[in-house]
Amino acid sequence: MLAKRSATLPCRSAAAKPVVRVPASRGRLQVACSSHAKFFVGGNWKCNGSVASVRTLVDELNAGSVPKGVEVVCSPPYIYIDYVMQHLDAQKFALAAQNCWISGNGAFTGEVSAEQLADFGVPWVILGHSERRALCGETNEVVGKKSSHALAAGLGVIACVGETLEQRNGGAMWTVLDAQMKALVDEIKDWSKVVVAYEPVWAIGTGVVATPEQAQEVHARLRAFCAKHLGAAVADKLRIIYGGSVNDANCAELALQEDIDGFLVGGASLKGPAFIKICQSGAAKAQP
C-alpha cells in the first residue's frame, strides 16, 4: 500500500463532476495514493517567442520568488535555449527541451539527439506531448523508445499521456491511458528521473480545465497502474503532474489534490508573473 502524504490532504478518488460537455468517467476509483517526491512545475513555451519576448520573460521569471522545495523547469524553443541558459536564474529554474530524436547522433536532418542535449547541459526533455502525437504521428511505441533512449543518455524525461474528448466520451479513456503507460513501462527500466504528465487533450489550450476531482481521479488511476506494474516503491515516488489550461487562477485548488504532484503549463508559462504564481501554488507540498 502506498503511504499517505498527510492527513490534511485527503485522497479524493470519487467519480468526477462533468465540465463543459466533458463527462466524468464511470464508477468510483478505490486506490491507496500519494507520492512523496518534490513538487514539479514545467513551463512549455512551445513554438512561441521572439528575441525581445524571451528576454522580457526571462527578466520576469528572474524577478519572481519560487519556493525552494519546488522544482521548476522551463522549456523554450531550441533556438532560444542558449540565451535562456545564459540568463535564467539557475538557482530557481532548470531547462528542458521540447523533444529529442529517438536514437543517437547521425544522418537525421533537422533532429536534435538526447546526447547533444546532455552535452550542452540541458537536463530535461518533454516527450510524447499530444501535439507531437497528433501532428507528427508519434505512436505510443515511439514515445516509449524515445523516453528510454533519453534516460540512457542522462536526461530526465517528462513523459506525456492523455486522452481526447472523443476517447473520453466513447468510454475508451482508461484503455487509451493504459496503452500509453504500458508503452513506457515496456521500455523504461529506471523511473527515478521520470515525471509523468497527464494532459487531457480536450483541455490543452482550450480554456477548459478538468475539475480537481476529474484530475485527481485520473492521477490516482495512473499511480495505481504504476503500483501494479512497477511496484509500490516506484509509484510512491513517481511525480504525476497535470497539464491542460493550467493558469494562475485555477492552480491552487488543483495543487491540493493528493495525487497531483505539479503542473506542465502551456500558455500561462509565457507570462512571467502568472507562471511564478503557479510555481508558488506548490508551496504546501514543497520539500527540501
Instruction: Give the tens place of pLDDT for each residue, 180-193.
Output: 999 999 999 999 99
Cell numbers that stand for 78 in this block? 531550441
Residue 34 falls within a domain, yes or no?
no
DSSP 80: G
Query: Which residue range is the domain that position 76 belongs to?
Result: 39-101+111-280
Grid cell, residue 65, equals 520568488
DSSP helix/strand/coil, 218 = helix
Residue with cell 532548470: 94
Q: Is 129 a catalytic residue?
A: yes
Spatial distance between the Cα atoms of 96 and 197, rounded to a whole number of angstroms: 14
Q: Does residue 144 register a pLDDT over 90?
A: yes
Query: What is the tens place of the pLDDT at every residue in 146-181?
Result: 999 999 999 999 999 999 999 999 999 999 999 999
Question: What 8-state DSSP symbol labels residue 245?
Answer: S
Q: What is the pLDDT of residues 15-70, one digit of tens each?
A: 333 334 444 443 444 334 556 789 999 999 999 999 999 999 999 999 999 999 99
Active site residue 253: no
Does any domain span residue 19?
no
With respect to residue 160, please indicate whether it lies within any of the assigned structural domains.
yes
Kindly state the cell numbers that stand for 36.
Answer: 512523496
* Domain total in the chain: 1
Q: How far apart are CA 42 and CA 49, in angstroms?
A: 17
Helix 212-230 / helix 173-187 crossing angle, nearest 10 deg: 40
The whole-angstrom separation of Cα 174 and Cα 90 is 38
Q: How confident is the model at residue 205 (pLDDT cuts 50, 70, 90)?
A: confident
**pTM for this prediction:** 0.89
Residue in 129, 138, 163, 219 annotated catalytic:
129
Residue 7 domain flag: no
Residue 122 CA to residue 110 CA, distance in Å, equals: 18
Distance between CA atoms of 259 and 266, rounded to whole angstroms?
20
* 146 domain-assigned: yes
Residue 116 within any structural domain of the chain: yes
Helix axes 51-63, 272-280, angle to 10 degrees: 40
- Please report which helix (H) or strand (E) contains residue 43, including its range: strand 39-44
In a domain, 197, yes or no: yes
Q: Which residues contact 122 (CB under 8 A, 6 or more apart)?
A: 81, 85, 95, 96, 97, 155
- Residue 171: CATH number of its domain: 3.20.20.70
8 versus 76: the higher-pLDDT residue is 76
Catalytic hit among 71, 131, 138, 199: 199
Judge whether 17 lies within some domain: no
